[in-house]
Amino acid sequence: MSTQAEEGERIWATHLRLDPLPTLLASGNRAIYHFARRDLLREDPGPVEPLWELPVAQRILKKQQEDGSWRYPGRNRQIYTETNYDLLETFRQLGLLIEKFALDRRHHAVEKAASYLFSCQSVEGDIRGILGSQYMPYYHGAILELLIKAGYGDDARVERGLQWLLSVRQDNGGWIVPVQAVPPKEKTRELWSAPPVPPDRSRPFSHLATGMALRPFAVQPDYRHLGSVALAARRLKSRFFLPDKYNDRKAPAYWLKFQYPFWWTNLLTALDTLSLLGYGPDDEDVKSGLDWFLDNQQNDGLWRTSYEQSSRAEPSPREREAMLWVGLAVARVFVRLQGNRQVGHLA
């Protein structure tokens, strides 16, 4: 029989049509089981180090290069030499290790990867390369988020990176990817090795860029309560379900395309950020996002990611695993938002 305290901890689940916890605990995935116990039940699941030894994590670790990067597997690296595809692949693989297996800077592979990422930091403070020589505040923000989660929040290079992000905001408080404002006919190959295009601060913000640039501030306690961060959060939530102002992932449908580890801005990543910044479920915009998850929960307590093959009646094993991770992330948001309501945070 559960205690009154345990029932209080699980009050978040009463707001869902179905409790996803039984499905998550019965998934057979040791990492999901660990995180569900830790984050949803508030139990001590034991040390995280055994997750580092899981076969999937070991396969990723074995592919790390001597310089700390992971080698991009596609042919584009030979075709578009201006782009640092290894930086993109390192972001992807490090995200898997940190988010799914809880590796941190105590592991030598994370130390090596961090050294590689910092080697791509410019004198201005931004991490650069995926867009050639051009600024990439969205990828830069997402990379900083991973570094902070891995234990580099007090590193001076992360501090420089956060300050750079604050310095390139739009006048309205959000962010853009500056090359998004370049007319298509001017996006020649030479642009990707030219001096970076500065942001036109008078232009409207991009919710794609703003959602990704905001994420490192949400996981860095010293920055969560800055007025500039709060303004960017308000800008982000004002755009739920609307098309972006720019062409990259513009359609409203992209709000409902979920992945884990987080990558592009979507409804789940935005709610995760807002919950970390202290928003509660009574905020009007937050509530609209939560209502979507309430209305679209599957009979097993999970959610479709919108990346599944529509021709299949049932998701494939790979798609099913993606749904489990997304389900865990959604449940974390509900837990956090409910906690914010109880302690009287922003809403």
* pLDDT by 10s per residue, the chain, length 347: 344 344 445 667 777 889 999 999 999 999 999 999 999 999 999 999 999 999 999 999 999 999 999 999 977 766 778 899 999 999 999 999 999 999 999 999 999 999 999 999 999 999 999 999 999 999 999 999 999 999 999 999 999 999 999 999 999 999 999 999 899 899 999 999 999 999 999 999 999 999 999 999 999 999 999 999 999 999 999 999 999 999 999 999 999 999 999 999 999 999 999 999 999 999 999 999 999 999 999 999 999 999 987 656 788 999 999 999 999 999 999 999 988 876 555 54
pLDDT number for residue 343: 59
CA–CA separation, 161 vs 52, rounded Å? Answer: 28
Tokens 């642009």 belong to 191
Evaluate the omega torsion of the peptide bond into residue 55 and state whether it is cis, within 30 degrees of 0. Answer: no
Q: Which of 145, 136, 198 is nearest to 170 (CA)?
A: 198
Side-chain half-sphere CA neighbours of 305 within 13 A: 25
Rounded to the nearest angstrom, the gap between the alpha carbon of residue 301 and the centroid of all alpha carbons in its chain is: 22
CA–CA separation, 243 vs 239, rounded Å? Answer: 8
The whole-model pTM stands at 0.94
pLDDT number for residue 5: 40
CA–CA separation, 77 vs 273, rounded Å? Answer: 33
pLDDT number for residue 341: 73
Instruction: Mark residue 305 as left, alpha or beta (left: phi above 0; alpha: psi -120 to 50; beta: remaining).
Output: alpha
Backbone angles phi, psi at 121, to 5 degrees: -85, 130
pLDDT number for residue 81: 80
Instruction: Give the gyration radius of the chain's Cα atoms.
Output: 20
CA–CA separation, 293 vs 284, rounded Å? Answer: 15
The total number of residues written for the chain in this structure? 347
Kindly compute the dihedral angle of the four CA atoms of residues 172, 178, 179, 180, in this order, to the nearest 10 degrees: -20
What lies within 8 Å, CB to CB, of 21 at 6+ separation is 13, 36, 40, 41, 301, 331
Q: Which helix (H) or strand (E) holds 341?
A: helix 317-343
Residue 128 DSSP SS3? coil
Q: Which two tokens stand for residue 321?
A: 């695993």
CA–CA separation, 326 vs 278, rounded Å? Answer: 21
**Whether 127 contacts 145, CB under 8 Å:** no
Number of other CB atoms surrounding residue 191 within 10 Å = 18
